[in-house]
Amino acid sequence: MQPTRVIGLMSGTSVDGIDTALVEISGGDLDLKVELLAGETYPYSPQLREHILGLGAGTAMSMADVAAIDDAIAHNFAQAAQHIQIGHHRATLIGSHGQTVYHRPPQGLEELGYSCQLGRGAMIAHLTGITTVSNFRIADIAAYGHGAPLVPKVDAYLLSHPQEERCIQNIGGIGNVTYLPARSDDWLSQIRGWDTGPGNSLLDLAVQHFTSGTKSYDNNGDWAASGTPCYPLVEQWLSHQYFHLPPPKSTGRELFGITYLHDCLQDAQPYQLNSADFLATITELTAVSIVHSYDNFLPRRPHKVILCGGGSRNSYLKNRLQLLLGNVPVSTTDEFGLSAAFKEAIAFAVLAYWRNINIPGNLPAVTGAYQEMLLGEIHDNYR
């Protein structure tokens, strides 16, 4: 059978731009194959980024303003899909995650969560002339799940190993892990996944704070590497309720965003840290919270930790993780043939492909949903 050419579109909690992957997909589950033909990140304009971050942070806005942001996101996503195809044969399917602006996990057993991704799929289908699957999280949420993380099932089929136990750790704005047991008889039911807490979100905000907005992230972690972490503060921050909550669990900028950073800055005042020390301390919180969650919520430490997402390019953070994990080697998905930068975009291409052939995309043991669900709404090409 001919592989299907699919575009995956994803903009995550960093709101840095649209990660776009053009892939060829074949197979179903264990025989799933994905080839990345092109990958590109198309940044948002500074104004649109500011509006999206404002909306997410609770800035008062009219419904007309929200509609304008929603439309602008859909236009940008459609444009990204058009651009990535230049010089290639056309895709027949798009999987668009959209832009998360709000995420509220279920507050109790009988409670439904809520997650809002802007950039309507119907618009993208119309603008591109390509059938588009979007709104991936809602079906899992309707089944009392968190609607996140959704990448673990894709990780399972692209990165699991017959003998090794692996943690696939994404470090985006928020961090999330997929724990993959070795592929044995009932390995699928033993897969776990959850949001570990802050990835780069607090670090990016702190860099913006110290540079009055002239820089948006700590390139390579060099700035943090020039400082020293303040461990009493890391300990204090680690007492945050989220880190102790057992999975299934998910979070977002609602918890680890600008308000939390302001609290951290206040907590740091008695220690009179300079900016480098503060960044080193925030970076340490990301690293320690990841390892702490493995130690608390996994049967044992994995054989390998494999990183992806923008934070995998932060050498200082990677080194801190390696130090905390001792003899468990830390690498990136690039070393396993899967692009660390575009893995999430690739995952939404796979989820769209699965939706199109009626394969469920969620793992109930990860999201907490009571059953497997077909994820995403299909918007036909209206042209």
Q: Where on the chain is the footprint of ligand ATP (CB under 6 A)? A: 12-14, 16, 19, 170, 172-174, 199-200, 204, 217-221, 309-311, 313-314, 344
Secondary structure of residue 307 in the 3-state scheme: strand
Structure tokens belonging to residue 125: 């289908």
Q: Which is nearer to ligand ATP, 39 or 309 (CB)?
A: 309
**Of these partners, ligand ATP, ligand AH0, none, which one is at the site of residue 219 (CB under 5 to 8 Å by kind)?**
ligand ATP
**321-330 long-range Cβ contacts below 8 angstroms, 24+ apart:** 321/169, 321/287, 321/290, 321/291, 324/287, 324/288, 324/291, 325/291, 325/301, 328/301, 328/302, 328/303, 328/304, 329/304, 329/305, 330/304, 330/305, 330/306
Residue with tokens 């943690």: 167
Least CB distance to ligand AH0 at residue 249 (A): 9
Cα–Cα distance list, 165 to 61, 74, 294 (Å): 47, 39, 12
96 binds, among ligand ATP, ligand AH0, none (CB under 5 to 8 A by kind): none
Outline where DSSP puts E strands in 105-140.
Answer: 114-118, 132-134
Using the structure block, give the residue that is written with the tokens 């923008």. Answer: 310
Bridge pairing between strands 114-118 and 132-134:
unpaired
Rg of the chain, C-alpha, whole Å:
20
Q: Which of residues 164-203 bind ligand AH0 (CB under 6 A)?
A: 172, 174, 176, 195
Q: Confirm or reject binding of residue 126 to ligand AH0 (CB under 6 A).
A: no
Q: Measured from the CB of residue 85, what is the shortest distance to ligand ATP in angstroms?
A: 21
How many residues lie near ligand AH0 (CB under 6 A)? 16
Task: Among 16, 19, 165, 344, indicate the residue that binds ligand AH0 (CB under 6 A).
Answer: 344
Closest separation in Å from C-beta 52 to ligand AH0: 13
Partner in contact with 148, chosen from ligand ATP, ligand AH0, none, beta carbon below 5 to 8 Å by kind: ligand AH0
Q: State the nearest-atom distance from the C-beta of 91 to ligand AH0, in Å.
A: 20
- Least separation in angstroms between residue 128's CB and ligand AH0 is 22
Interior angle at CA 86, CA 82 and CA 87, nearest 5: 155
Q: Which does 283 bind (CB under 5 to 8 A by kind): ligand AH0, ligand ATP, none?
A: none
By a kind-dependent CB cut-off of 5 to 8 A, residue 103 interacts, out of ligand ATP, ligand AH0, none, with: ligand AH0
Binding mask 99-118 for ligand AH0 (x = CB under 6 A): -x--x-----------x---
Distance CA 378, CA 95 (A): 9
Binder of residue 217, out of ligand AH0, ligand ATP, none (CB less than 5 to 8 A by kind): ligand ATP
Of 213-242, which residues contact ligand AH0 (CB under 6 A)? none
Task: In angstroms, give the least distance from the CB of 344 to ligand AH0.
Answer: 5
Q: Is the bond into 43 cis (omega within 30 degrees of 0)?
A: no
Query: Cβ closer to ligand AH0: 282 or 351?
Result: 351
User: What is the rounded distance in angstroms from the CA atom of residue 137 to the CA atom of residue 146?
Assistant: 8
Q: Please answer whether residues 104 and 113 qualify as being in contact, where contact means their C-beta atoms are separated by less than 8 angstroms.
A: yes
Tell me which residues touch ligand AH0 (CB under 6 A).
12-13, 100, 103, 115, 148-151, 172, 174, 176, 195, 250, 252, 344
